[in-house]
Structure 1
Amino acid sequence: MTHLGLLEFWAMTDLVTPMALRTVATLRIADHLAEGPKDLKDLALATNADADALGRVLRYLAARGVFEVAEAGGDRFALGETARWLLDDDPSAARRWLDQTGYGATMDRAHLDLLGITRRGGPETAANKTSLDATAAASYDQLMEANTRNEAVLLVRAIGWSRFEHLVDVGGGTGVQLAAILAATPEMHGTLVELPTSVDAARQRFEQAGLTGRCDVLAGNVLELELPTADAFLLRMLLHSFEDDQAVDVLTRCRQALRPGGSVFVAEAADTHQAAFTAMDLIVLVLGHGRERTLAQYDELAAAAGLRRTGIHTPPAGPRALEYTA
């Protein structure tokens, strides 16, 4: 194991850079500089910011290689290569994740209570999707869309979906993953099961993709619904939001609706990359419910629901899909 030096250790504790990046992301500084360098006073006016304070933030981030000072010692700034990640239309959606007016800020605030959460065993107020109002849920969906969009095609290629006639995507957000699978599998019918806050956006997506004749939307909480009969169920980044008893309940509902010979796919973060796996586990902890699980732990939950694992599908990026049958 590599041991950190003192400077590296202190760098891990730094809040200056994370908060400076969140500030410029919220003010959309990168978008204001997209067409070329601008004077500080113009940036301050455009973003309703104090020129002196904004200048100090930008000079710091320029020193860190994010933005550039267009004229040495001056008050004119330009978009550095690193700052391009903060453009609103960048596929990474980094700006939206850091925007302090969206769901990313809810996640940030939740982390500030980690000490209290560690003492209590959980947050006083949950911040996961089921606890959000319509506005916050829409912001949450936008962020999840960006993640799923970048990974959806990889999961399509990793699994032979053509062997299934009807796929039910449980907790599939606004339908990005399901739309990708249906587009690649013309003979398949799909059903999206999601909370009411997400279904309008999902229906719009399916209509724009020309999939309304092959895709249904079922609004409600999976723990309260009778799922439609199908030969494939997909739970993508869903079960980690549930405690064990609820996860078994969801899997049991899928098994009860599963046609003979069908499969239930559990797509979750693999425990093979410990840094990323444990970081996601802390995120789930501070948001209020659930946990990341190892392969063995998912197998145990599946067995309790009357399912056994028959395959593992590992895309080059994104969640690993565990395949279970009755």
Structure 2
Amino acid sequence: MSETAQKDAKTADNDVERRLNMIEAINDALDIMLDRDPDVIVMGEDVGYFGGVFRCTAGLQEKFGKTRVFDTPISECGIIGVAVGMGAYGLRPVPEIQFADYIYPGLDQLISEAARLRYRSAAEYIAPLTVRSPFGGGIFGGQTHSQSPESIFTHVSGLKTVIPSTPYDAKGLLISAIEDNDPVIFFEPKRIYNGPFSGYYDKPVEPWKKHEQSKVPEGYYSIPLGKARTVREGGEMTILAYGTMVHVVESVAREKGVDAEILDLRTLVPLDIEAIEASVRKTGRCMIVHEATRTSGFGAELSALVQERCFYHLEAPIARVTGFDTPYPHSLEWAYFPGPVRIGEAIDKLLSE
């Protein structure tokens, strides 16, 4: 386990570590919270008997019963609306939206109800729901199974947005999200569900079960929301990323031999702006990498924040490497992703300025 991971885990039931992929780590977090808190409810399409389309909820209905883990109709608006009501009643629902692309029918429930309930009721009611959903590309899912809509939710006051990049973080952050009294959007990068990949198509960095980041302690632990993780320290430039892109930029920086400091944001809201500011002030250069489209992507907000706080420390313009402003291309998705070529060219340009 990394030093950063050791520092930000609040508690752990024991020191037993296993090597899990992200699917297994998420399943473990749900298992623990269902066992610890009788108010936790898991719901969604195919999450019960089938165990989820990606098997994240496998075995949970059998263990905890159909009143704690249950299937819902194919109605995202209904799933989230019911979860809001459950939260106001005192439960802690964890609804799964099968793919992030399907979350749009539930936007009104999230924006108009969940995000505003605490404020509108003068804190008499809260909406402690955690909406889990696989997001991003990597499985050739096409336009309705591959989108990255995180910036929509970061724009909404009252919602928190979390995106893990490792099994260790996925478990600890999910536990924190479920325990949080505010609604949390928990996006799971499905391209790395089974392990981290480099930017070269689907070539694994190394066998996942041997990867250091697959070490996950057994039992309960939590990671505070709003704390970035330093993936690697460096002095030449700062690279800000989250989700799948953390592994891609780490692979590119390693192969190019660049002394880059890489920050995994982990949570977009709340954002660890202090860590970002400290890193950019140290390195003098900043690159932002995300899979979502460029225009109005979260990278634009990051760029503005860095410029506002670190302008006199910047030695070059802030760089962004993102998805393209096009509908998601099915057959060309690996050209759409920020990969080694585009990231490498951006690194060279940033260092030359």
Q: TM-score range by the shorter chain?
A: 0.3 to 0.5
Q: Whose helix fraction is larger, Structure 1's or Structure 2's?
A: 1
Larger radius of gyration: 1
